[in-house]
Structures are given as structure tokens and as C-alpha cells.
Amino acid sequence: MIPGKSVLRNLIGIDSAKALSTAEADLVNARTIQLMDSENTRLPNSRDFKELSAIHFHLFQDIYDWAGKLRTIDMRRGDGEFFAPCIYLERNLISLSSQLAEKNFLRIKDRSTFIRELTYFYDHLNWIHPFREGNGRTQRHFWSRVSADAGWILDWRPIHGELDEASRQAREDEDFQMLYSVFEKVVATSRT
């Protein structure tokens, strides 16, 4: 944080939360366009933290010097539950990556089974919350890439605003139905 402010230290020297939010949105949108152009953006296809970190770095490299790096502080969602303690981030990410590999990186033909597994993995990665900022945007790109390789197309547009509340409910109330329902809208089609 910038001393005396409630604004994240950033590479562009902005000390206003509103101005940083606007600049971050603009810069991340520009990097998102680049990310969608796979011809010019080479990222690892490892389906683990290496890939997740590369996505985060690509999206936030213009804003934060810690882009792509694990957070070093414990965090919580507002007044709610804490995310994974930072001392266990690496262990949790390795465990989740192993589970994802055991599930054959979600290469599942049945739509409802795919959605159930995606819900599980999204929730767990969201709880790990590896980065100080930008976890949701990074996750959406990561899961879109994993899903595309598994033969499924994700369309995040129909759920604007719903994902955060569904994620909170899944984690705090251990009720995954709302998150599952959100992913029923997100999983647009199968390419297989």
C-alpha cells in the first residue's frame, strides 16, 4: 500500500483509488486483447501455477511490480472469511494442480459433470486467492484456457456481477448450488 493511503502501490504513480481503478481497467483491457491473440502472446500451457502466474503477469505487468507473484499478506473478503493463509499458498496450488491433473484437466464429455468439476476447481482456486489483486480476471482467463483444451467454450458475459456473490456463498455457506447455476450460464457450448 502507498503509505498514508488505502491504495495499492503501483507502477504508474497513482495515489487515488478511483483513478487507479480506472487506469487498471484500461490497461488490463488492453492486455486482455493481446492475451486473446495467441499468435503474439506465448504463455505456458502447463495448467498449473506457472500458467496462472504468466496470465496474471501479462494482465497486470503495467500496473504492479508484483504481477505474477504470490501474495505475501493474508487477506479476507470484506468482513467475511479469510482466503488461504499466504504461508500455504504454494502447497495449496500444488495440491489443486495435482487434483486437476487427476481429473484429466477437465476433459469431460458430460456437460453437468464438467460444470460440477469446474465449480469445484473454481471455488478452490478462488479460496486460495494467490494474488494481491486481479484473481477473478486471471481465473477467468485460466479456466477459459483449460476449458477450451477440454472441448468446452466459456462465455463470461451473461453473469456480470453474479460470480462474486455465488463464490462468497459457496465458500462461506458451503452451498455450491448458486455457483453451479452461474457456471450453467457460463459453459456455452462443447466443441466436441
pLDDT tens string 117-144:
999 999 999 999 999 999 999 999 999 9
Say which residue, 2 or 105, is predicted with more confidence: 105
What average pLDDT is seen over the chain? 90
Q: What are phi and psi of 81, to 5 degrees?
A: -65, 145
* pTM for this model (two decimals): 0.91
- Number of Cβ within a 10 Å radius of residue 54: 20
* Per-domain residue ranges of the chain: 17-190
Give the CATH number of domain 17-190: 1.10.3290.10
Estimate the crossing angle of helix 111-128 against helix 89-102, to 10 degrees.
Answer: 170
The cell numbers describing 117, all together, are 468439476
In this predicted structure, the answer to whether residue 163 has a pLDDT above a threshold of 80 is no
